[in-house]
Amino acid sequence: MKTEISIKDSVALISGANRGIGKAITEELLNRGIKKVYAGARQLESLKALQEKYGARLKPLQLDVTNQESVDNAVKVASDATMLINNAGVMAHGGYKTENMLESIHLNMEVNVLGVIRLTQAALPNIENKPNATIATVSSVVGLGNMPMMNGYCTSKAAVHSMIQGLRGELQDSNVLVSGIYPGPIETDMAKGFEGIELDKPENLAKNVVSALEQGEEDIFPDVMSAQIKQVYGTTPKEVEKMFSTWK
Ligand SMILES: NC(=O)c1ccc[n+]([C@@H]2O[C@H](COP(=O)([O-])OP(=O)(O)OC[C@H]3O[C@@H](n4cnc5c(N)ncnc54)[C@H](OP(=O)(O)O)[C@@H]3O)[C@@H](O)[C@H]2O)c1
């Protein structure tokens, strides 16, 4: 069911709000008149510039998604947040032919997968049955097809994709909009070192994400490359696997 979301009537909690995609979404929500954003960051001082720019509508929140105590405290403080944006993530490389596949999987899973579960489970009681209830989680186009050069990261993002579907299924009789965000390559610290790939701007992604949430969209492909992948994946998922398999 399509649930349109009123940004102006929402209060959001976002993880990893201090830089990159999380910062861009935070700013877009504030620029569109959201009541308040609880901006989660591991280091509160990294939110100083945002706080100075937006004043009282931006509430800095200490949040490390790998730490249950930090998550529980954050959710307690942000108890009026009806929109959760699971954005925080890491990209550890590593594949079968490198020595650090297990190490890479552990780190990717700890932040990208277990972090999303921790925060979502903790925040859900604050969100369910509230107006404009939303849980949006950042996966990636590489969660839909594996790029071997970042095998362990892709594996974690595929798990995130499945978790989004599972959460949507569990909540299908509730009022919560459960959205998955599937970006292509975006110009952030995470994408430093991506060579020969065109990067879209986080600000463009943020505009498209917030518009899509307003429209109640479940599957959000918010940038130039992901819009192309959406077309291919929609008709021939195997083709996405083939396209990405050449990135070694
Ligand atoms: N950039 C891309 O091309 C791209 C494409 C598809 C999907 N994504 C996804 O988009 C999301 C944001 O990535 P980005 O590109 O903005 O990366 P980024 O610039 O590296 O930012 C990552 C953010 O996650 C935070 N973070 C990392 N570990 C954390 C933890 N344990 N607890 C709380 N916060 C933590 C970081 O905080 P610190 O500053 O404290 O490190 C930072 O705010 C990630 O989920 C990523 O996988 C990115």
Q: Ligand 1 in contact with 65 (CB < 6 A)? A: yes
Residue 61 CA to ligand 1 center (angstroms) comes to 16
Q: Is the pTM of this model over 0.85?
A: yes
16 CA to middle of ligand 1, Å? Answer: 6
Atom 24 (ligand 1) nearest CA: 88
Q: Per residue in 154-209, pLDDT tens?
A: 999 999 999 999 999 999 999 999 999 999 999 999 999 888 889 999 999 999 99
Query: How far apart, in whole angstroms, are the C-alpha atoms of residue 119 and residue 6?
Result: 23
The token pair at 187 is: 């110009």
* Predicted confidence (pLDDT) at residue 2 exceeds the cutoff of 80: no
Cβ–ligand 1 distance for 90 under 6 Å, the answer: yes
Closest residue by CA, ligand 1 atom 37: 16
Closest CA to 209 of 59, 9, 12: 12
Tell how far the Cα of 19 is from the centroid of ligand 1, in angstroms.
8
CATH topology of domain 7-244: Rossmann fold (3.40.50)
Q: For the segment 26-75, what is each residue's pLDDT rounded down to a tens digit?
A: 999 999 999 999 999 999 999 999 999 999 999 999 999 999 999 999 99
Q: Domain residue spans in the chain? A: 7-244
The residue whose CA is least distant from atom 7 of ligand 1 is: 140
* Other CB atoms within 10 Å distance of the CB of residue 169: 9
Which is the closest atom of ligand 1 to the Cα of 24? 16
1 — pLDDT class (breaks 50, 70, 90): low
Gap from CA of 102 to ligand 1 centroid (Å): 20
Residue located nearest, by CA, to atom 43 of ligand 1: 16
Confidence at residue 109, expressed as pLDDT on a 0 to 100 scale: 98
Look up residue 217 and give its two tokens: 């969209």
pLDDT digits (tens, 9 = 90+) for 114-167: 999 999 999 999 999 999 999 999 999 999 999 999 999 999 999 999 999 999
CA-wise closest residue to 21 among 158, 226, 209, 228: 209
* Contact 120 CB / ligand 1 (< 6 Å): no
Q: What is the pLDDT of residues 86-113, one digit of tens each?
A: 999 999 998 898 878 899 999 999 999 9
Q: How far apart are CA 186 and CA 56, in angstroms?
A: 29
Q: Residues in the chain, how many?
A: 248
Q: What angle do CA 45, 58, 129 make, to 5 degrees?
A: 125
DSSP strand pairing (134-138 vs 177-181): parallel
